[in-house]
Structure formats: structure tokens, C-alpha cells
């Protein structure tokens, strides 16, 4: 199993506006400092997204709050974007908002996110395979946990960016990755086309980068989530999964969401 990554070790893709590369590194350092478990457990699900261009205009506080409210959708018992109304977990920054969640005990639950007034968003969640004391010694990654994370992230993306951009044509880049994979066994259902166990993962980090207009993120959300998941699984397992199985998982998750 690989060691946890160092602070700021995951920059955004080359070609991103320099302010977003800088903010990605700042937020990664903030995540590792604010989350003690980041130094103890290497297995994390991560994503960032940002607009196609930044021309210096900052989003105001009312817009950020409205976007956070739009993004709070609960599909599986816990919202992807947790911004509690009481303000105990979600706190204002000088240029945005941040939430740090850490539940310690037999089963850990740890999340971190920041939304900046540039439109840059970053999210991290401890793998439940790390958090479960029964699963941790087995060193596994369940396909379903990955599919769920991608589906939640991409749905939250368009709901937040509809508010932030105010335009269906606004382009948004999303990067989703899993870190701490090396040495884990990818577990998948038989209909995923990978066998009962897809083998030991050889890469420590697997990522995808997707670029769509807000309207496309929304209108083709299921297909986009399936495509990203298929690319991620291919990177983890070294072969293409059955997309029909991925689509069933995504559709079942979205069916739990309020209309």
C-alpha cells in the first residue's frame, strides 16, 4: 500500500487557468492539514471542478450560498455537498466556504470540501473501505463505492454550476480521481464484466478529466457519469467494464434523488 501523498502533490491538469492551479494546491494543503486521517490512510476519493476561464470577476457571497443550497441533494443517506444550515460544519473563508467532517469511532467518516469565489471547487472523501475496520485489512476497493462517488459528484456539479454560471453554455472542467489504489483488490459484481474480483490494482492514482458545458453535464448526466466510471474502471482493472451494469447502478442511484 502506498504512503499518503504529500501536501500539494496533486496539481490540476496543465492548461487550466493559473489561478485554479494555485487554488488546487492551496486547497490540497488545507485538506491535509485540516484532516488528520489524511496522514494515516492513503485511500481517498477526490474531485475538483472549475469554469473554463477566469477573467477576474469574483462571485458574491449570496451566489455562493445559493449554489451550496442547490448542491445539497441526498441520494444515499448523506449529501455529497454537506453544508449544514446551522453553520457548525460549514464555515466561511475570506474567499469562499469550507466544510470539514470527521466522525471517529469504529467506522470513520471523513469529508472535506471548499468552494471558492472564483468558481473552483474541491472535494475529498475517505474511502469507506478504509473506514470500515472489517474491510481495511482486506485492502479492497468496491466498484459500487466508486460508481456512487462519480454519480454524486457529476450531479452535484451541474446543480451548483447552474447557479454559479447562470448559463447552459458555460464550460466546466471536472477532474475525478482515486488515490491510494496500489495493492488493493478491485471487487465488482459478476455483471460488471470484470469477474468476481478484477485483480490487484497496480496504479496508485487513477483519474479522469472531463470538459462539458453546464447544459450537457445536466442533460446527459447519466451518460456522462457512466462514461467517467467506465474510464476509471478501465484504468483500475486494465480492461473495459460492461457499461450496462454501470448504467443500472447510476440510474438506481439517481432514482433516489428528489425530482
232, 206 Cβ separation under 8 angstroms = yes
Rounded to whole angstroms, what are the CA distances from 110 to 89, 123, 129, 217?
Answer: 12, 11, 12, 27
Report the C-alpha gap between 127 and 131 in whole angstroms. Answer: 6
Q: What is the pLDDT of residue 73?
A: 81
- Residue closest to 119 by CA, chosen among 183, 178, 54, 180: 54
* Residue 211 resides in a domain: yes
Tell me: pLDDT of 253 over 70.
yes
Measured in whole angstroms, the distance separating CA 112 from the mean position of its chain's CA atoms is 10
Rounded to whole angstroms, what are the CA distances from 142 to 67, 163, 201?
Answer: 31, 33, 12
Share of the chain above pLDDT 70, in %: 86
Count of the separate structural domains present in the chain:
1
Band (pLDDT 50/70/90 cuts) for residue 247 is very high
**Mean per-residue pLDDT for 59-77?**
88
By the 10 Å C-beta count (0-12 exposed, 13-18 middle, 19+ buried), 139 is classed as middle
Contacts of range 97-102, beta carbons closer than 8 Å, 24 or more positions apart: 97/64, 97/68, 98/30, 98/34, 100/34, 100/35, 102/35, 102/36, 102/37
Rounded to whole angstroms, what are the CA distances from 194 to 75, 135, 255?
Answer: 26, 20, 25
* Residue 2 resides in a domain: no
* Residue 12 resides in a domain: no
Residue 70, H or E segment: helix 61-71
Band (pLDDT 50/70/90 cuts) for residue 116 is very high
Band (pLDDT 50/70/90 cuts) for residue 13 is low
Report the C-alpha gap between 160 and 122 in whole angstroms. Answer: 13
* Residue 259 resides in a domain: no
* Residue 3 resides in a domain: no
Q: What is the pLDDT of residues 144-189, one digit of tens each?
A: 889 999 999 999 999 999 999 999 999 999 999 999 999 998 888 7
Q: How many CA atoms lie within 13 A of 11 on its CB side?
A: 9
Domain containing 209: what range?
18-254
- Residue closest to 181 by CA, chosen among 158, 199, 162: 199
Rounded to whole angstroms, what are the CA distances from 23 to 38, 89, 116, 181?
Answer: 19, 21, 9, 25
* Residue 9 resides in a domain: no
Instruction: Report the range of poorest mean pLDDT among 57-66, 90-99, 183-192.
Output: 183-192
**Mean per-residue pLDDT for 198-220?**
92
Q: What is the pLDDT of residue 5?
A: 40
* Residue 11 resides in a domain: no
Tell me: pLDDT of 41 over 80.
yes
Positive or negative, the CA dihedral 228, 233, 236, 240 is negative
* Residue 6 resides in a domain: no
Amino acid at each position: 500500500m502506498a504512503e499518503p501523498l504529500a501536501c500539494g502533490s496533486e496539481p490540476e491538469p496543465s492548461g487550466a487557468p493559473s489561478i485554479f492551479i494555485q487554488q488546487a494546491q492551496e486547497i490540497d494543503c488545507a485538506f491535509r492539514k485540516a484532516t488528520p486521517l489524511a496522514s494515516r490512510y492513503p485511500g481517498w476519493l477526490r474531485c475538483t471542478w472549475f469554469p473554463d476561464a477566469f477573467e477576474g470577476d469574483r462571485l458574491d457571497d449570496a451566489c455562493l450560498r445559493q449554489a451550496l443550497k442547490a448542491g445539497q441533494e441526498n441520494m444515499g443517506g448523506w449529501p455529497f455537498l454537506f453544508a449544514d444550515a446551522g453553520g457548525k460544519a460549514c464555515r466561511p473563508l475570506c474567499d469562499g466556504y469550507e466544510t470539514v467532517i470527521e466522525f471517529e469511532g469504529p467506522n470513520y467518516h471523513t469529508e472535506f470540501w471548499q468552494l471558492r469565489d472564483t468558481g473552483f471547487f474541491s472535494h475529498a472523501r475517505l474511502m469507506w473501505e478504509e473506514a470500515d475496520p472489517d474491510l481495511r485489512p482486506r485492502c479492497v476497493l468496491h466498484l459500487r463505492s466508486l460508481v456512487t462517488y462519480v454519480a454524486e459528484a457529476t450531479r452535484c456539479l451541474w446543480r451548483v454550476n447552474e447557479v454559479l454560471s447562470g448559463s447552459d453554455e458555460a464550460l466546466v472542467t471536472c477532474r475525478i480521481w482515486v488515490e491510494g489504489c496500489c495493492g488493493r483488490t478491485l471487487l465488482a459484481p459478476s455483471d460488471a464484466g470484470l469477474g468476481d474480483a478484477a485483480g490487484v490494482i497496480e496504479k496508485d492514482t487513477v483519474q479522469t478529466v472531463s470538459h462539458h458545458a453546464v447544459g450537457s453535464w445536466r442533460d446527459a448526466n447519466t451518460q456522462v457519469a457512466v462514461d467517467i466510471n467506465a474510464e476509471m474502471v478501465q484504468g483500475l482493472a486494465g480492461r473495459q467494464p460492461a457499461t450496462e451494469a454501470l448504467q443500472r447502478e447510476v440510474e438506481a442511484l439517481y432514482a433516489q434523488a428528489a425530482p
